Every structure is written in C-alpha cells, then in structure tokens.
Amino acid sequence: MHLTWEALQAQRAELGQAEESLDSLTAELDAVQAEWQKIAESVSAQRHEATQSFQTLIEGHLQSLGMQEARLQVLLTASEGINPAGLESVEFEISTNKGQPFGPIQKIASGGELSRISLAIQVASLGDEAPRTLVFDEVDVGIGGSVAETVGQLLATLGQHHQILCVTHLGQVAAQADHHLKVIKSGDPVSTSITMLSDDTRVEEIARMTGGASMTDASRALAEELLNERFKRQTAGG
C-alpha cells in the first residue's frame, strides 16, 4: 500500500508538470523549425545561383563525350513542409538530340548515354564530398577514338577523388586505369574468373582490345603509348 501511494504521488507530480513540459517542447520545436528554415533558404539561394553554370559545365562535358546535341536542365520544384531536400526538390532533365523536348534522364537516355551523363554529372560535382565507390558499365557503348580517350581521362579524374570500377571493352578507356582486372566467362554451366593483370600482361590485354584478335607489334606499341601517355599526365598532375 505504501508503494502504491508513492507511485500515485509521483504520477500526480508528473501530470502537474505536463503543461510546463509541453511549453518547453513547443519552444524547442519552434527553434528547430527556425534553424531549418534558415539553412534551407541558404541552400536554396546557392542552388539557384549555381544552376546555370552547373548546366553549362555538364553540357560541355557531354559534348566532349560525343553527345554534341545534348542539353541539360535542372528543375527546382518547391516542396512543402520540413523535409531533407530543403525548400525544393531537384530533378535533372535531358534532351539528347536537336529539337527533342526535355524529359527525365531515365526515360530519354539509352544505357550508354546514361553512363556518360552520370560521368559528366559526377565530374562536374567534384568537391569536398566523402570518397565513394562508383561503378560505370556501358560507358563506352557507341564511341571510339578521341571520345573514348576523353571518357578514360574523365574517369581517371574522378578516380582521384573516388574509387572507380569500370567495365570496358576499349583500350583507350582501360589504359587510364591504375589497376586492371581481366574477367573471363567460360564453360557450361558458365563460370567466371577474374585475374589481376601485371604491367606486362596489361600491355598484352590492351593491345588485344585495340588491335583485335591478331596481336601485332603495332598494337603492342599503341598499348604502350596509351599507358605512357597516362603516366605522363599523372606525373604532370593532369
């Protein structure tokens, strides 16, 4: 009985403080909302200020990646209430051909285009963000020559800030990597093996990728030249 009486007294005291606690929580919530509003307005101002230059920068990268007619627009749509995105949601829309209307990237771009658009956006967004692992597949679909080399160079630039995993069939792209893995599928049922390439074997593999099935001194020389050019750019800080 004594314990029950003490418990009832504690409950009575707690109920008596409920209104005071509610006032305190309401004041705390108002302070949090005011702080969120201040930060959200600052982020919104930076977004609007950076939108045009960001679009132009990405379009420049897309043109160097062989998408000369590509145009990008950043849509800022006002949001309601407190949310992690701030005062507006951000959406990228793209037009890949002259005269084509803008539309969501995932509906407009093909697989290869999507990889190149992602690469352009990632390079344009380089800053102080924490390192991540980024995977690029089909980034070399439908390209070759100088465009393929540019793709490789941009991947190398991105690789200075993040870990990049890239699946490629082009020697110009592969030559820009720091490490090379050869993936082979064989057998029935199919099994997959992955081999880390040494300096000598990666020359042979890049030569095969650039020269086809027949290995020649010319294809080996081209592979070595591609690797040497990459080394020169790294040494020069480019």
**Tell me: the pLDDT tens digits for 126-152?**
876 778 899 998 888 888 888 988 999
Going by their DSSP bridges, the two strands 163-167 and 133-137 should be labelled as parallel
- pLDDT at residue 5, as a whole number: 61
The reported pTM is: 0.74
84 neighbors 40 (Cβ within 8 angstroms): no
Q: Splitting the chain (238 residues) into consecutive groups of 10 residues, what average pLDDT does each group show?
A: 65 68 82 91 94 93 92 92 89 91 90 89 83 88 86 91 91 91 87 90 88 79 87 67
Task: Classify domain 132-238 at the CATH class level.
Answer: alpha beta
Cα–Cα distance list, 164 to 81, 82, 130, 158, 235 (Å): 37, 35, 14, 7, 20
Domain ranges for the chain, please list them.
Answer: 37-125, 132-238
Handedness of CA 43, 49, 52, 54 (dihedral sign): negative
H or E stretch covering 73: strand 71-78
Residue of 140, 142, 62, 210 lying closest to 227 (CA atoms) = 210
Q: Which spans in the chain are helix H?
A: 2-16, 18-64, 105-108, 111-124, 145-159, 171-174, 199-211, 217-236
Residue type, 233: R
Cβ atoms within 10 Å of 203's Cβ, excluding its own: 20
Cβ atoms within 10 Å of 94's Cβ, excluding its own: 24
